[in-house]
Amino acid sequence: MRSRLYFILGSLALLQTFTSGSKIPSFAAQIRDMRHSENAHTKIELASLISRNSSIFSPLDAEWKNETERYMQNINPQVQLSVRPGLEDDVAKIVQYANRRNVPFYAVSRGHALTTSVGKFNGIEIDLRSLNRVHVNSNKSTAWFQGGVYSYEVLNSLWDEGCVSILGPALGGGHGLQQGKHGLTSDHFVNLNVVLANGTAVQVNENSNPDLWWAMRGAGHNFGIVTSFESKIWPDNFKKYFVKIYQFAGNSLDALIEQVNLFQGNGTLDPAWLGNFGLYTINAALSQTEATITWVFIYDGVQAEAEAALKPFDELQPLTADEVSIPYTAINDQIGGAVDGALCEPNKTHIIGTAGLQTYNVTTMRAIYDLYTEKINQHPELGATRVFVEGYSVQGVRSFNSDDSAFPLRDDNILTYFDVKLNSSSDPLIDFATKWRDETIDLWNAGQSDRKPTAYVNYAAGYESLESRYGYDSWRLEKLRKLKGQYDPYNRFAWYNPIIPPQIRY
């Protein structure tokens, strides 16, 4: 409110300086000009406070479009200024400055946030992408990662050292390919360097700020900005991983899901299987009217063992079956997650939804498939829509006590993800896609009527209940709210799946 008042008072003062013969610009132009002036003043002030290798961008800069580019254009935070700190210490200084000016701040690393709450932000963006260093400690059992590091940067840095890490957005728990052996990403934090809402920099671990240690692992985006963290890593010795990719027609679906349930089990999948992933989407080379079902299996072990275990899938008459042995660094690309691939294409409108499962309901998976076919036949232009499921080994995840961190969903064996991709935030098919999304998520949840709906926080769209994201045990939300009042009483961190809605203070 204070900065809005500055803009209004500044405009009134500007009006008083014009003579009667001057051409007075429109009020909107005056407001815009004053905002640019305010941003220029802020840039000068901030530049005097932070390190010289930092960067500050305003809407007048040529780099602005690049700097504020996002994955989802339909969730559009109002960024007035973007600051890219060059040193970790700069983050605390930026937060302190924003607080003095009573301006909201929001930290990003890559702009991939999916939740609608991000769209309510209006203020200074703290872009962590320059904080991307990885340092492997001499014992090669832990490494330090700065807060803006890309997953692929982690992979490549550790691979050079003969190591791997757990992948995944860590503060929301962090599912990944190594979780069957080692647990979630957040389970293997050793230390977190965190900037709190008041601009104080603290180290957080099981002995230092232990209550915040609990909250950061599962709900961390509500409590602070992690400028760097130390995590356990594991030797890999440059071995190869076996990947097999099947494509099936719709008439194979029921038998396929039954077989996947036998393979996946209910929390019993051997950790040697890093994951199995299913996808419904249109492959025009195979069919333009019916979704092709793709299923990918990834194995850490002897290829002959994997081939024997997958023989039942070979007998289901797949349309195609391809296999490859690749290093760990290539797995993400192989399953469609390349950083420059179609899945990461920026500036698109996405209608997304998610549900957590334990096993697949065959009837439900068939109903979702038939719904997909129905919707695509109505609107063939939506053929890139993805209905995606992720089946992981969870033995490592379940080896940790669920009460010891804020992450509540250790009994979800399967993640689901629905995604319609559109070119414009005003696309006339948004309502159609949203209804399709809701029907699909409702089907997934109805297929497990004995469980309450759950939503992995890193896949959540923002409309899900707090309990589905942060746990149905009443003590969990009570504890999170109490800690929120202690560490962030003014609710500065209210933009990513917030525990407390924006603009609400204690």
Of 96, 122, 120, 118, the residue nearest 109 (C-alpha): 118
**Three-point CA angle 94, 99, 100, nearest 5°:** 100
Question: What domains sit in the chain, N to C, each tagged with a CATH number?
Answer: 2-127 (3.30.43.10), 134-235 (3.30.465.10), 241-469 (3.40.462.20)
* CA–CA dist 169, 416 (Å, integer): 16
Give tens-digit pLDDT for 31-47.
344 456 677 788 889 99
- The string of DSSP letters for 256-290 reads HHHHHHHHHTTTT--TTEEEEEEEEE--TTT-SSS
pLDDT computed for residue 335 by the predictor: 74
Of 153, 127, 116, 148, the residue nearest 64 (C-alpha): 127
- The string of DSSP letters for 102-167 reads T--EEEESSS----GGGGG-EEEEEE-TT---EEE-TTSSEEEEETT--HHHHHHHHHHTTEE---
Could you tell me where the beta strands, DSSP code E, fall in 23-70? 55-57
pLDDT computed for residue 208 by the predictor: 97
pLDDT computed for residue 55 by the predictor: 95
DSSP code of 244? E
Tokens 């939300």, residue located:
477
Dihedral sign computed on CA atoms, order 220, 487, 191, 133? positive
Amino acid at 169: P
* CA–CA dist 157, 252 (Å, integer): 41
What would you report as the CA-atom Rg of the chain, rounded to the nearest whole angstrom? 24
Give every residue of the chain whose pLDDT is below 70, as ranges: 1-37, 111, 152, 159-168, 237-238, 336-343, 504-506
Amino acid at 133: R
pLDDT computed for residue 168 by the predictor: 45
Token digits of residue 211: 């209550």
Token digits of residue 339: 């950083």
- What is the three-class DSSP state of 358? coil
* CA–CA dist 119, 125 (Å, integer): 13
With contact defined as beta carbons under 8 Å apart, do 382 and 429 qualify? yes
pLDDT computed for residue 170 by the predictor: 79
DSSP code of 350? E
**pTM for the complete prediction?**
0.89
DSSP code of 348? B
* CA–CA dist 378, 300 (Å, integer): 42
With contact defined as beta carbons under 8 Å apart, do 152 and 165 qualify? no
Of 288, 289, 285, 290, the residue nearest 320 (C-alpha): 285
Judged by phi (left if over 0) then psi (alpha if -120 to 50, else beta), residue 155 lies in: alpha
Residues in the chain: 506
Could you tell me where the beta strands, DSSP code E, fall in 379-432? 386-391, 414-422
Q: Please give the C-alpha separations between residue 411 and each of 20, 366, 479, 489, in angstroms, as whole numbers.
A: 72, 24, 21, 32
pLDDT computed for residue 148 by the predictor: 87
Give tens-digit pLDDT for 312-341.
999 999 999 999 999 888 888 777 665 556
